[in-house]
Chains A and B, each alone.
Chain A
Amino acid sequence: MSMDTRRIDPEDVLLLAADTARVVLESGGETYRAEDAAQAVCSALGGAEAECFATPTGIQLSFTGFDGRVHSIVRRVKKRSMNLERLSRVNDLARRLYAGELDFDGAARELDLTERRPGYPLGVSLAAAATGTGFFTLLFGGGWNDALVAAAVGALLSRVTRILARRQISDFFTNIAGGAAAALLCLAAEHLGLAASADTTIIGVIMLLVPGVAITNAIRDTIAGDLVAGVARGADAFMAAAAISIGSGGAFELWRRLFPGTL
């Protein structure tokens, strides 16, 4: 096996390793995991002195091939979303390749399958969004009627943000629109007597957008010594929170002007 791996074109190894790291980052994996995965792929396939530098928005990777030349590649990471099944599959791929349970072709095929793997069907995702937002509203002290409103708005919001993301609308605008829509719908529900407290309902719905995990990961990256990645993730979380509150703050203001005295 060791003889075979040495004959794989270093350029192919480079592409496989960079794509592995890219999928880790696109699926919401930690920075060090992306770097470790790329290095594992390189050294499993005969690359020496593999070094990878990853940030949330890009990857730089280089190693010395069996031909004694240094090969390197730069990859941008454009879309990031949480996909935990994809993350564990790509992690497993790198691990098995490193352990010698997979060869180059197997790993390339596995990566391709992982990337094209369909997620949960639409109905399941909508039900999941409704469950998550509804029960968070209960957890934050809302009543059952608040939870029902939050579930309905949450399902709608998750669908709309997914469509906007697919149309490549920027996260910033998506979050402004999402924050505004969530606030307006919840205020309307309160006004119509469907929900008891718009505030609790809004915070349950907003959990879909809010970067709580992102700010925690930013600090985790910083603690782990990935300073550039940590600062970048912090900026990402900060901008997301700012956009959501610009949206919902604007919606509150609009409501105050349209229906004076109801807030």
Chain B
Amino acid sequence: MNAALGLVWAAVATAGFAVLFELHLREVPLAATGAILGWGVYTLSGGEGGTAVACFAAAAAVGVYAELLAALRRRPAAVYIVCAIIPIVPGGGMYYTMLASVRGDLAKSLELGFRTLQAAGAIAAGLAVSSAIARLISLERLARRLGGRREKPRI
């Protein structure tokens, strides 16, 4: 599959899921852009095999992007994260793990299960790192300088 085409598929699929998750129509293009960013970083760091490093890098990129948007648009970062992370999230892995165990293939189930947990852990760690970075360099102040509205207590 053409890599550039993959970015388009990821963006459109994410837009579909964003609407399904009742994201406001104005924010859908932003979420889709986040998916392009995440999927791009994921494939560039060799993600098609589902390596933890690729998951971590993609999640950190999506996380920083979402924190920046959250400060600019004054919505929870989670709103953008939940959508933009969907293409890299190991949903398929969870499914294949359980399918292998339902079929009685214990070895395959264990292997897939471990890889799935690794991917999910890497994504969660990437998001945790990006939110820590956002707090350290105070993206909110940066956003204010970029034209966001005035700073509010962080809830």
**Which residues of B come within 8 Å of A, CB atoms?**
1, 6, 9-10, 12-24, 27, 74-76, 78-79, 82-83, 85-87, 89-95, 97-99, 101-103, 116-117, 120-121, 123-125, 127-128, 152-153, 155
Contacts and interface: CB of A to CB of B under 8 A. Distances in A.
A243 B10 CA distance: 26
Contact of B94 (A134, A210, A223): A210
Interface of A: 28-30, 33, 36-37, 40, 82-88, 91-92, 94-95, 98-99, 119-120, 124-125, 127-136, 138-141, 158, 203, 206-208, 210-213, 215-220, 222-224, 237, 241-242, 244-246, 248-250
A125 B20 CA distance: 6
A237 B15 CA distance: 23
Given A83-B21, A222-B124, 7 more contacts: A40-B155, A135-B13, A136-B13, A136-B87, A140-B92, A210-B94, A249-B102
A95 B155 contact: yes
7 contacts: A87-B78, A120-B22, A135-B13, A207-B17, A217-B124, A241-B97, A250-B102
The 5 closest A-B pairs by CB, nearest first: A212-B91, A132-B16, A131-B16, A212-B89, A210-B91
A215 B94 contact: yes
Q: Counting chain B CB atoms within 10 Å of each CB, which of A216, A241, A249 scores highest? A: A216
A216 B125 CA distance: 9
A215 to B, nearest CB: 5
A216 B76 contact: no
Contacts of B153: 40, 95, 98-99
Nearest to B103: A249
B21 A215 contact: no
B78 A30 contact: yes
B95 A244 contact: yes
B13 A215 contact: no
A212 B94 contact: yes
A94 B23 contact: no
Given A131-B13, A135-B12, A136-B13, A98 B155 contact: yes
A205 B93 CA distance: 14
Contact of B89 (A208, A213, A224): A213
B113 to A, nearest CB: 10
B82 A82 contact: yes
